[in-house]
Structure 1
Amino acid sequence: MTRDGASGTGGVDPQQLWLVPSGPRRGRKPAFSRAAITAAAVAVADAEGLDAVTMRRVASEVGAGVMSLYSYAPDKETLLELMVDHVSGELPTTDAPTGDWRADLKAIAHLQRALMLRHPWLPGALAARRTLGPNALAFLERALAALRPTGLGGAAKLEVFAQLTAFVAGHISYEITQAAAARSPDRAAAEARYLTAVATDGHHPELAEALSAPGRSLTPEATFTRFLNRLVDGLGAE
């Protein structure tokens, strides 16, 4: 994106972003840092969503002129990369694998879910992310270590982690949408009445049978765990 948020053609250079020191190198010490700018952007996104994150808004939050931010984050695309890696630092990376790779993968997915629930903008941001910063790389390293007992090749391990992360991000987007719908009891009641009518119209016997089956726990945690178990327990082949 360009400075006004429009898409650019160059994209983010990961080596420049993560391996080159940021900010002015000469003159007096600046009153803020790239870390402070990133933290301010995350706070805005947590409270108001990604659309509220603009260079002007973040500059206001840190008490800086908008032009001075461009030494640290030249555009919103770069700022988004910084934000994703910043919150990825909340993920623990030092736990040693247990040797039970399926259990370890499930634990990793639950950590990702908790992170995305704390930062509901993150699933959408991951879809636009182009690079892996140091915090994301550290968590990837943990996941690859957990997958070592599988005997999978390197490319397959990377695919498994990508598949797991995509599942968690998609499910959290679904969770957030369902939670918003649940806050509207009239809508929920109308949907229930509709499904009941459809299931008893004689044209949807499979649906009628499915809806008549014994109920399961519908808490978000229980639902996520069931879906996750189906995914992870079916992994293992190249």
Structure 2
Amino acid sequence: MAFARATSTTGARDVPHDGKSGAAGVDPEQLWLRPTEPRRGRRPSFSREAITVAAVTLADTEGLEAVTMRRVAAEVGAGVMSLYSYAPDKETLLELMVDHVSGELTVTDPPSGDWRADLKTIAHMQRTHMLRHPWLPSALSTRRVPGPNTLAFLEHALAVLRPSELDGAAKLEVFAQLTAFVAGYVAHEITQAAASRSQDRAAAEARYFAAVASDGRHPELAEALSAPGRPLTPEATFARFLGRLIDGLAAD
């Protein structure tokens, strides 16, 4: 089994390659290079885009687990079997969903020439994008083959990195590291936001760390906790983490 470079909104990674992708064996040529609508026969009352939009809406409102072929068929007013010529399984549907929402990552300004600053802009765009679609970090955890919208955003990211001294492979790796960081941060952010809704839990955690810091067995932690506070909003924390990541990428 050879290795291929797979690039998606999570970046690029080396993966075992057998000509297909995803758990269900999605064929990228069939998915992205074939006509999106049937060439022959009676034209159905729905389109591949309508199916994709319905699936994205379900995922946004009810979570990724709500996206089933049966539910999507009901949303577009079709029978389940009629969907299979567009998306034969959920993995294919996820590919369509990921690329569809990637179309929201529109960039109007050309790269500034400051690739570090432009990478930060890209990362902030991705964070906003993933928070808008909370199912996206989970969907991106599986290998995806980039569709046209994803490729357009990747093209911009590579153009941003042109002023750097990185070669082509390293540019793909940088984009992979950046977007994997964003996906991981957003997944954690969503989980923490749900947990922090409990005031009792927040108070209990504060008491717990105060006790741990004062027991004398964790001096390094006690010193760290006693340091002057920094802004702890998700936005400020993300910016600090992102700055450290890009500093590391620049030094590599």
> What is the percent sequence identity of the aligned residues?
78
Once the two structures are superposed, the pairs formed by residues 26-105 of structure 1 within 5 Å of their partners are 26-105=40-119
Residue of 114, 129, 149 corresponding to 2:143: 129
Distance (Å, rounded) in 2 between the aligned partners of 1:170 and 1:92: 22
Q: Structure 2: how far apart are the matches of 1:237 and 1:204? A: 32
1 CA distance for matches of 2:179 and 2:130? 11
Q: Which runs of 5+ in 2 are unaligned?
A: 1-21
Larger helix percent: 1
Q: Are the counterparts in 2 of residues 22 and 71 from structure 1 also a CA contact under 8 Å?
A: no
Contact 2:24-2:91 at 8 Å conserved across structures: no
1:185 and 2:199 are equivalent in the alignment: yes
Q: Distance in 2 between matches of 1:158 and 1:175?
A: 25
Secondary structure at the aligned position of 1:22 is classed as coil
More RCO (CA 8 Å, sep 6+): 2
Q: Pick which of 37-46 and 227-236 moved more.
A: 227-236
- Measure the CA separation in 1 of the matches of 2:74 and 2:109: 39
Runs of 5+ consecutive residues of structure 1 not aligned to the other structure: 1-7
Count of residue correspondences: 232
Q: Deviations over 1:150-197 (max 9, x none)?
A: 120100000000000000000001100110111011111111111110
Match of 1:199 in 2: 213
Q: Is the 8 A contact 1:152 1:236 kept in 2?
A: no
Task: State the partner residue of 2:7.
Answer: none
- The corresponding residue for 2:30 is 16
Distance across 2 between alignment mates of 1:9 and 1:135: 22
Give the equivalent residue in structure 1 for 2:246: 232
User: What are the superposed Cα offsets for residues 187-221 of structure 1, whole Å, 9 maximum, x if unpaired?
Assistant: 11111111110010000011111111111111111
The SS at the match of 1:21 is: coil
More strand by share: 2
TM-score (norm 1): 0.94
- Indicate if the aligned counterparts of 1:80 and 1:129 stay in contact, CA closer than 8 A: no
Task: Quote the Cα distance in structure 2 between the aligned partners of 1:152 and 1:134.
Answer: 25
